[in-house]
Chains A and B, each alone.
Chain A
Amino acid sequence: MDILLQQIINGLVQGAIYAMVALGYTMVYGIMGLINFAHGEVVMIGTLVAITVITLLVGAGVPPAMAGACGVVAAAAVCMIIGWSLERVAYRPLRNAQRLAPLITAIGCSIVLQNVAMMVWGRNYMTFPPLIAKTQFEIAGASFTSVQVLILLVASVSMGGLLFLVYRTKLGMAMRATAQNPAVAGLMGVNANRVISSAFVVGSALGAVAGVMVGTYYEIAHYQMGFMLGLKAFTAAVLGGIGNLAGAMAGGLLLGLIEALGAGYIGDLTGGFLGSHYQDIFAFAVLIVVLMFRPSGLFGEKTGDRA
């Protein structure tokens, strides 16, 4: 079953990337109930910033690994600023508005970010410079590369860091309190504005790292890449139960696996009727089926009717 193992490896890597992006959606949603539609574009900008920085540094003779580290830092910095500004300028004035207003604003932000990116980086595909030597390993007939290992490592460390932040620090406690009940948290002296800002900033930083991962993995980037990636990641967050950190991680991994396995086996399953270009259908089909049976996602809290 080498193909099975192969698809599991590919799925895990893709899933780790989804999970990193999904965390950005779920943190913001968990704390303020907003779907930050522009998050995918933040990730895209992270990728493009990293390309620019890394290409410049490598051109100046800096070793790729070093340049890569600088690229991640630069991308994270830019994304954190964008995330912070989005909340401050676009979403905060709408906190008490009708439910759909921030959604339209988010769509507006998404369009703006995408077109700014196009003006800055152009509409052509850009190649992502290689950061580490791409060594091939083989286990039981399935092969994987050093890039994949690196992605899984960085993702684990980042997500571990996030869990530490949320469950072991004062800021994390304030975040959890605000997510539970903003009014009470406010009475206890939690500054809701600060908490919400940090959710955006931390989510954007994770998104930037994910952006670099996508770049290194696919070796290519484009100003429109944020849209589908964001959509899939948001699907992953809902799949896991939006607002739930562990749910977003599990949802991301699960989605990656489903897609990889689905793409690998759909031909056999349907007797060749449907081919692997139906890959994108799996994400959404699984989502619909899961929500039919678990309306709050796999790990979401059950919110029953309260009379």
Chain B
Amino acid sequence: MNALPVLLEAQGVAKHFGGVKALRDVSLTIRKGEIYGLIGPNGAGKTTFFNCMTGLYVPDGGGFLFDGLPLKADAPHQAAERGIARTFQNIRLFGNMSALENVMVGRHVRTHAGVFGAVLRDRRTRDEEAAIARRAEELLHYVGIEDRADDLAKNLSYGDQRRLEIARALATEPKLLCLDEPAAGMNGTETEELRVLIEGIRKDGTTILLIEHDVKLVMGLCDRVAVLDYGALIIEDVPAVVQHDPRVIEAYIGVAA
């Protein structure tokens, strides 16, 4: 595993809200092609870490190296451009756009047509538009909701909304796909389907960072796992080691084992 090149490196990332230290000096390394799990009890700082990485928050200390170059803070659209895509814990779709349109918007960052192209509707713009639609259809098919393409996103079932959000993220052609609790609220069958989907995405060449509460899912799926507690990284290792680490057990159960 260690032979794989590094994709993302967090270097001493710190973030505080008023007096609350949400992240303290978090450093971790995600390698190309792995499924990397980030777990921790509620309020441990997982989503804050995500938000810092994707540019929604500006870290108070430290920073990120992505693909060998530093990530600019406070520029979410640039993070996406560099190849980081994400989903949200509390699904954020464009509710009044169709499923297909949601994925088509995801192509924004990889396409170019501007106002003049749109108004003149020249050959290049038409071709690009057709390619956008085609790719969006493929992605809907890929996540298995192609028959819901024309439904408004807000009318999809919960599981389908999760899938649509993943399809939209994939439309940006990410090198690193960050999933924020994708299995939350799913039943057993849905979670299993999700596991298959995530493994498929990895197999097709996208590195995955997974924040998850479902410890069973994380341990079964991830190559390596990091554990956050009170904003600090307590361990980063393969699941088998993490599972039996007393600090992790303490963090979750709250008493020394």
Where the two chains meet, the residues of A that have a C-beta atom closer than 8 Å to any C-beta of B are 305, 307
Contact = CB atoms under 8 A, between A and B. Distances in A.
B50 interface: yes
A93 B56 CA distance: 37
Nearest to B76: A305
Chain B binding site: helix, strand, loop or mixed by DSSP? helix
A305 B76 CA distance: 12
A305 B57 CA distance: 8
Contacts of B88: 307
Contacts of A305: 56
B47 interface: yes
Contacts of B47: 307
A305 B56 CA distance: 7
6 contacts: A305-B56, A307-B47, A307-B50, A307-B51, A307-B56, A307-B88
Interface of B: 47, 50-51, 56, 88
A303 to B, nearest CB: 14
A305 B54 CA distance: 13
Contacts of B50: 307
A305 B74 CA distance: 11
A41 B51 CA distance: 46
A100 to B, nearest CB: 16
Nearest to B47: A307
A307 B50 CA distance: 10
A97 to B, nearest CB: 15
A305 B47 CA distance: 13
B157 to A, nearest CB: 23
Of B47, B56, B88, chain A has the most CB atoms within 10 Å of the CB of B56
A295 B47 CA distance: 25
B93 to A, nearest CB: 14
Contacts of A307: 47, 50-51, 56, 88
Nearest to A305: B56
Nearest to B86: A307
A305 B88 CA distance: 13
A307 B51 CA distance: 7
A57 B210 CA distance: 77
Nearest to B54: A307
Contacts of B51: 307
Nearest to B17: A304
Nearest to B50: A307
Closest 6 pairs between A and B when the two form their complex, measured CB to CB = A307-B51, A307-B56, A305-B56, A307-B88, A307-B47, A307-B50
A305 B48 CA distance: 12
B214 to A, nearest CB: 21
A307 B52 CA distance: 11
Contacts of B56: 305, 307
